[in-house]
Chains A and B, each alone.
Chain A
């Protein structure tokens, strides 16, 4: 326990869990691609292994360079780069699944949103670590809201709903960590809840009642109350309009999530097949390399977004639960490191990076077990994808960076 010993050592459980998950990922990329007759996929696990070496080096570098360099102007530089690439993607990005998400140099493809996520965390950590920050003032909230809102909208425009919500998750987690009272967090979140509730009238009535009660009992002045009410009214009116303007595939995914049988061929098919794969793994699994759903190519995108389904099918409940627990440990260590950091900036940075993992892991796993819509988000560390693996290690490296320097002010 390096933190207790007080040395400048890395957080060993976090390191262990990260490497373990990456190795499990390579094993199951091998398994998922071993049966496909497309010869092109056979060597993918080797590629992933090479990427792991690159990622380890990248992670070490991210841990070695003191995190102080991310304070101040460099944060803006990073953020500008992230946004610039996002804008570039809108113009020249590769189209995949009806959305422009990728930038490429030759054989390398890279999702600029990966950089934008980290850059947003860094910038938010800068904003929220300022002295004399009073988060109950609307004025001091404006900067963080904008910093997360711009990339959110840019990614939404691609369109990539799943990834864009990451920015909201980062924002709310970091605001909470920075000291925003739960009551204000609720007010901030109210438009989001409003959107979700507006699809189901009883839920919306309940939401409206709760919001009214909370506002009535609050000691806010009239202006902020009116502001919250106005925003919620606008959102309530705009949501149906936006729904009508959503990309067909997005609308279908949401509808499919609510009723998988309605779209048996598209996303519903994926969910049904993924559930059959995981469920049929039973307690002990069908054995490594012996998944039958996988073998018959019933599982879509099995080495990328649906790799957890292969884990569930071949290793059963014990394997799937073990992987889930490993992810919990990763996130738990992240929060712990954030808590122990004596420096406000460092704590915020750690918790922001951890929230990226939290969101991706939960949304991906929930998708494979039918608890969330198909979003196209990879499972960090496990899914096939070189740049995704590298980004995950860079994030863990940064968290380790903070763990190593927790005493610093």
Chain B
């Protein structure tokens, strides 16, 4: 035991010293309290009763968003917001005034006073900042509020930047929109620096790049006197100025985006994605129908939101990335590639059963889309004319396992990895999936026939379809699709966000010969007289494509089309889907054609000239 039998030497002396030091420290504290409370107490009492020091937040403008050529597609305009300070001296003294003021404001702003009261109660809890009652108030109302200042205690008009999308509905799903931060979002510890009433990106780019776009709010320190009016700006020496959010430059070409969106018939539902197959840069990403993101900037009403989010056509839904559809015959080039690579067929192979409009497998008959039949075809014509019977037999020869293995190798069931929120995963089922779904061995071998023509449980998002098309176009590189070209913070580009030239994607081992055969077959789809994609032809450009007409449980067939061009050195890959529109050749290929036309022959376009003026 290391116990010392002796007491500490000099302990009494140390105890006295330590006690004295502590005593002096506490005496100083008491002296300080006495000075503050007794000698200067009156001054502080006055400060506490008559002068409230209040913080005003100066909202930061969000970063601008431009297209790849510098065309402005999102910026800010100044606007007025009417606020109410529930901790105003008047309300503290006579709480009844709060109710009457809110009631009066309801009339002035044209908002139900009940809703306002609820908002004041809820937001007032969270901080001692004034509650933002209504954004984007017009000048007449602002003038009215200013004139009746004395009758409206605690009411103030703040200057706030309002998010504006000058192109209106264009690219709405890509851009997303901003709205007041929700209670659920506020619970996220990463959003600790958001206050209720703050704006936050809710969808698309606005949400994905929120941390760059948001900027930093500034602060003003205001002394408010007994009358509730601003007395002196205590912090005027150093108000903290807001910092605008970072400017984004997109990979999007506004011209192409417009061409894609206008190519859809009014009222049509669907999506179109155009991508640079060399880099993964998204050139256009359209989803129909659109909505107007400007509607959200000022705060949208409950009823209007219900219409947009649940109304018949689900306009808020980004069909390009959030919806997976059966790819139909657009999957055939990939099935053909699987056949060639696995050695199941050669380019010249023909199958025993000639196409007479149907194929007998076991006791079931599988029909070709062309009732009169295609006759005996080899790969090129089978793709060009989209012969189902050829692919039924290819599917049988490959078998589910080999087909599923190939689809796994090209990541069909994975997300494309685009830098937008809420991307949905596609699916190409394999034996394990069927075992889980139906029980081991309880499913028919005939399923592979449907899978081989892109039906059955297979489903893909339009963005994934575009990525896979790019894979054929660029010779085996799985590019990562992205919409951001550059982020500029404080005038300097932010590094490390955008994949660099040599890391645009992962290389997948696809031998050149099979790829060349498939590319040639896809070119025939558009170039051949009998090709199903004839309507995607563009003057003086070699286009390769594939149509698709996908049966689905929700009504008419979906029309699909995928393509890339020019064949010799592809610079654009496109995927188009139109819901319940019928044939890919008549409903989807023409849309792709307009996108290609705008890409290769933009002369006729005047959008940029108009919009930049």
Q: Which residue of A lies closest to B15 (CB)?
A: A339
Quick one: which of B25, B33, B125 contacts A369, CB cutoff 8 A?
A: B33
B22 and A409 within 8 A (CB): no
Residues of A within 8 A of B19 (CB): 332, 335
Q: Which residues of chain A (337-382) have a CB below 8 Å from chain B?
A: 338-339, 341-345, 347, 351, 358, 362, 365-366, 369, 371
Known contacts A177-B8, A276-B48, A332-B22; A130 and B2 CB within 8 A of each other = yes
Q: Are A276 and B47 in contact (CB under 8 A)?
A: yes
Chain A, Cβ-Cβ closest to B122: A37
Of the candidates B8, B55, B237, B240, which one forms a contact with A347 in the assembled complex, judged by CB atoms under 8 Å apart? B8
A307-344 CB contact bits vs B (8 Å, 1 = yes)?
00000100011001100110110011001101101111
Of A343, A351, A371, the contact of B3 (CB 8 Å cutoff): A343
B186 to chain A, nearest CB (A): 13
B140 at the interface (CB under 8 A from A): no
Question: In whole Å, how far is B47's beta carbon from the nearest beta carbon of chain A?
Answer: 5
Least CB distance from A207 to B in Å reads 20
Tell whether A276 pairs with B37 under 8 Å between CB atoms, given A265-B240, A347-B8: no
Binding site for B on A (CB under 8 A): 36-38, 71-72, 95, 126, 129-131, 173, 176-179, 261-262, 264-265, 269, 272-273, 275-283, 292-293, 295-298, 312, 316-317, 320-321, 324-325, 327-328, 331-332, 335-336, 338-339, 341-345, 347, 351, 358, 362, 365-366, 369, 371, 409
How far apart are the CA atoms of A290 and B519 in the complex, in Å?
Answer: 82
Chain B residue at minimal CB-CB distance from A332? B19
14 contacts between A and B (CB under 8 A): A129-B3, A261-B234, A261-B235, A264-B53, A275-B44, A278-B37, A278-B44, A280-B48, A281-B37, A281-B41, A317-B41, A335-B19, A344-B4, A409-B3
A296 x B128 contact (CB < 8 A): yes
Interface on chain A toward B: helix, strand, loop, or mixed SS?
A: helix
> When chains A and B are docked, how far (Å) is the Cα of A342 from the Cα of B9?
11
Q: Given A275-B44, A369-B29, are A312 and B128 also a contact pair (CB < 8 Å)?
A: no
List 4 extra interface pairs beyond A328-B22, A335-B19, A343-B3, CB under 8 A: A265-B55, A272-B53, A281-B41, A317-B41
Closest 3 CB pairs between A and B? A279-B44, A282-B41, A280-B48
Interface string of B206-243 (1 = CB under 8 A from A): 00000000000001010000000000001101101000
Cβ–Cβ < 8 Å partners of B240 in chain A: 265
With known contacts A261-B235, A282-B38, A292–B49 Cβ distance under 8 A: yes
**CB < 8 Å: which of A36, A296, A338, A343 contacts B92?**
A296
Report Cα–Cα, A368/B53, bound state, in Å.
18
Interface residues of B in 34-50 (CB under 8 A from A): 34, 36-38, 40-45, 47-49
What bracket does the count of chain B residues touching chain A fall in? 35 or more
Can you list, as one digit per residue, whether each of B462-498 has a CB less than 8 Å from chain A (1) or not (0)? 0000000000000000000000000000000000000
Q: Which residues of B contact A273 (CB under 8 A)?
A: 53
Contact of A345 among B3, B12, B34 (CB under 8 A): B3
Kindly list chain A residues whose C-beta atoms are within 8 Å of the C-beta of B5.
409
> Known contacts A269-B55, A276-B48; is A262 also within 8 Å of B238 by CB?
yes
Find the A residue at minimum CB distance from B92.
A296
Residues in chain B near residue A296, CB distance under 8 A = 52, 87, 92, 128
Q: A37-B125, A261-B235 are in contact. Are A321 and B33 (CB under 8 A)?
A: yes
Closest-CB distance, B86 to chain A (whole angstroms): 10
Contact B29 A280 (CB under 8 A): no
Pairwise interchain contact B33-A278, C-beta atoms closer than 8 A = yes
Write the chain B residue with the least CB distance to A343: B3
Residues of B within 8 A of A328 (CB): 22-23, 26
Q: Which residues of A contact B34 (CB under 8 A)?
A: 317, 321
Per the bound structure, the CA–CA distance linking A244 and B25 in Å amounts to 32
The one of A264, A276, A278, A331 that contacts B221, using a Cβ cutoff of 8 Å:
A264
Q: Does B18 lie at the interface of the complex (its beta carbon under 8 Å from any beta carbon of A)?
A: yes
Q: Which residue of A lies closest to B44 (CB)?
A: A279
In the complex, how many angstroms separate the beta carbon of A397 from the nearest chain B beta carbon?
21
Query: At the interface, yes or no: B124 with Cβ under 8 Å from chain A?
Result: yes
- Whether B44 contacts A298 by the Cβ 8 Å rule is no
B10 at the interface (CB under 8 A from A): yes
Distance to closest chain A CB from B481 (angstroms): 33
B608 within 8 A of A: no
Q: What's the Cα separation between A18 and B428 when bound, in Å?
A: 69
Contact B37 A316 (CB under 8 A): yes
CB distance from B21 to the nearest CB of A (A): 10
What's the nearest-Cβ distance from chain B to residue A15, in Å?
20
Q: Counting CB contacts under 8 A, is B601 at the interface?
A: no
CB neighbours of B609 from chain A (8 A) = none
CB atoms of B38 and A339 under 8 A apart = no
Asked whether, in the complex, the Cβ of B219 is within 8 Å of the Cβ of A280, the reply is no
CA distance A298 to B363 in the complex (A): 81
Nearest CB of chain A from residue B136's CB, rounded to whole Å: 26
Contact (Cβ within 8 A) B55 A264: yes
Q: What 1/0 mask marks residues of chain B from 278 to 321 whose CB sits below 8 Å from any chain A CB? A: 00000000000000000000000000000000000000000000
Contact A279 B15 (CB under 8 A): no
CA separation between A316 and B1, bound complex, in Å? Answer: 51
- B541 close to chain A: CB less than 8 A: no
Closest chain B residue to A296, Cβ basis: B87
- Which residues of A lie under 8 Å from residue B11 when comparing CB positions? 339, 347
A390: shortest Cβ distance to chain B, in Å? 25
* Cross-chain contact B2 with A297 (CB below 8 angstroms): no
**Shortest Cβ distance from B289 into chain A, in angstroms?**
42
Q: List the B side residues contacting A176 at CB < 8 Å.
A: 14, 18
B3 engages A324 (CB within 8 Å): no
- Most chain B beta-carbon neighbours within 10 Å: one of A177, A279, A344: A279
B534 to chain A, nearest CB (A): 60
C-alpha spacing A324/B36, complex, angstroms? 15
Shortest A231–chain B CB gap in Å is 25
Say whether B9 contacts A324, CB under 8 Å. no
Interface membership of B431, Cβ < 8 A: no
Instruction: Known contacts A38-B125, A282-B37, A339-B15; decide if A365 and B45 are in contact (CB<8 Å).
Output: no
Which chain A residue has the least Cβ–Cβ distance from B219?
A265
List the B side residues contacting A362 at CB < 8 Å. Answer: 25-26, 29
Contacts of B15 in A (CB 8 A): 335-336, 338-339
Specify which chain A residues have a CB less than 8 angstroms from the CB of B55 in the assembled complex.
264-265, 269
Q: How far is the CA of A358 from the CA of B29 in the complex (A)?
A: 13
B189 at the binding interface (Cβ < 8 Å):
yes
Q: Which of B3, B5, B53, B87 has the most CB of A within 10 A?
A: B3
Give A301 Cβ to nearest chain B Cβ, in Å.
13
* Interface-central residue, A280, A292, A327, A343, by most chain B CB under 10 Å: A280
A281 proximity list for chain B (CB < 8 A): 37, 41
CA distance A338 to B33 in the complex (A): 30
Is residue B30 contacting chain A, with contact meaning CB distance below 8 A?
yes
Tell me whether B501 is interfacial, beta carbon within 8 Å.
no
Contacts of A341 in B (CB 8 A): 7
B507 interface contact, C-beta 8 A: no
CA A39 – CA B160 in complex, angstroms? 31
Q: Is the CB of B18 within 8 A of A279?
A: no
- Asked if B44 contacts A327 (CB within 8 A), the reply is no
Cα–Cα distance between A278 and B18 once the two chains are bound (Å): 29
CA distance A331 to B221 in the complex (A): 40
**Residue B32 lies at the interface, judged by CB distance under 8 Å to chain A:** yes
Is B219 a contact partner of A129 (Cβ separation < 8 A)? no
Judge whether B124 and A282 touch: CB under 8 Å: no
**A322 CB to nearest chain B CB (Å):** 10
Q: Is the CB of A280 within 8 A of B25?
A: no
Contact of B47 among A131, A280, A321, A347 (CB under 8 A): A280
In the assembled complex, the Cα of A341 lies from the Cα of B219 at a distance in Å of: 56
Contact of A297 among B10, B30, B87, B221 (CB under 8 A): B87
Q: Which residues of B323-354 are within 8 A (CB) of A?
A: none
Q: If A261-B235, A358-B22 touch, does A129 touch B32 (CB 8 Å cutoff)?
A: no
Instruction: Check if A371 sits within 8 Å of B32, measured CB to CB.
Output: yes
- How many angstroms from the CA of A327 to the CA of B30 in the assembled complex? 12
Task: Report Cα–Cα, A126/B4, bound state, in Å.
Answer: 11
Distance of A369 Cα from B49 Cα, bound (Å): 19
A343 to B5, CA, bound (A): 7
